[in-house]
Amino acid sequence: MPELPEVEIVRQSLSKKIKQKKVQKVIIRNRNLRFKIPLNFANFIEGKKIIKVKRFSKYLILCLSSGCYCLLHLGMSGTLHIVNKNKKDIITNTSFYNSPILPKKHNHVEIIFENLKIIYNDPRRFGFFEIVGNLYLLKKRFSNLGPEPFQSRFNYEYVFSFLKGKKRNIKNFLLDQKFVSGIGNIYANEILFLSNIKPDKKGYLIKKKECKKLVVNSRKVLSNAIKKGGSSIKDFQNIYGEKGKFQKNFKVYERRGLSCKRSRCQGTIQKKIISNRSSFFCNICQK
């Protein structure tokens, strides 16, 4: 599943291509995504200008000239492809997941502009589109989610208070979108390594100084991933022919059996399944 950095890369790609452009037509080939696309969905989009492309957590937000918002979540396998009318691009995928070229199957939604169109492809159909009527409702829509790592209210006091007395492990907390929004399995592994914390350590055992590390390293890891274009786990490219490069910086993820990259550490990277997710950690320097 795309995590915050990968969704941010998609947002940047979309913003460069469709910002201030008017939607001419919407074609829905399959309404049966995770949530069924409403019958009046096209009416909210057609004839509207895309004022801005924003993101919160793993959600893309198309800000429409009508004052409405179109939310898009890519789910497990959703991808957005940008297809130009006047030239045939070999690479159309805005992200680094699944096919770099436009697949022939599972193209569920097309949003058509003057010289290009966006095609939403999703084999597993866990993604979804949603219309939100105004800014108040948009804020309400995300009110059940925790802050993003970059927001000021995600600080060590918040983290320490949230974890206090909790018996769940810290890895599960980092993946809990009600605690912090946007962190997925790959980056949780990397954040915990930089923070010298084992993924199965209980929340109530996390000290204040460790909470500070979690805040600082969450921002550090995600910022670095965005700068490097995300993680191209399957070696695919975005629409500019660029590969995500953050996977070259993995300290623990998918490094089972290899030596710890931390200087002077003689540890070996271990793998453990926690809540059905693969967790990677150093057996010596993470405690």
Q: Structural domain boundaries of the chain?
A: 4-141, 156-282
pTM score: 0.87
| Residue 6 appears among annotated catalytic residues | no
Q: Is 103 a known active-site residue?
A: no
| pLDDT tens by residue, the chain, 287 residues | 778 888 998 999 899 999 999 999 999 999 999 999 989 999 999 999 999 999 999 999 999 999 999 999 999 889 999 999 877 777 888 876 667 788 889 999 999 999 999 999 999 999 999 999 999 999 999 999 999 999 999 999 999 999 999 999 999 999 999 999 999 999 999 999 999 999 999 999 999 999 999 999 999 999 988 887 655 444 444 555 555 445 567 899 989 999 999 999 999 999 999 989 999 999 999 99
Catalytic residue among 58, 198, 228, 255: 58
User: Three-state SS across the chain?
Assistant: CCCHHHHHHHHHHHHHHHCCCECCEEEECCCCCCCCCCCCHHHHHCCCEEEEEEEECCEEEEEECCCCEEEEECCCCCEEEEEECCCCCCCCECCCCCCCCCCCCCEEEEEECCCEEEEEECCCCCCEEEEECCHHHHHHHCCCCCCCCCCCCCCHHHHHHHHCCCCCEHHHHHHCCCCCCCCCHHHHHHHHHHCCCCCCCEHHHCCHHHHHHHHHHHHHHHHHHHHCCCECCCCCECCCCCECEHHHHCCCCCCCCCECCCCCCCCEEEEEEECCEEEEEECCCCC
CATH fold of 4-141, please?
A: N-terminal domain of MutM-like DNA repair proteins (3.20.190)
Catalytic residue among 2, 100, 149, 199: 2
Is 2 designated active site? yes
Which member of 34, 54, 141, 277 is catalytic?
277
**Topology of the domain comprising 156-282:** Helicase, Ruva Protein; domain 3 (1.10.8)
171 is an active site residue: no
Domains 4-141 and 156-282 share a fold: no
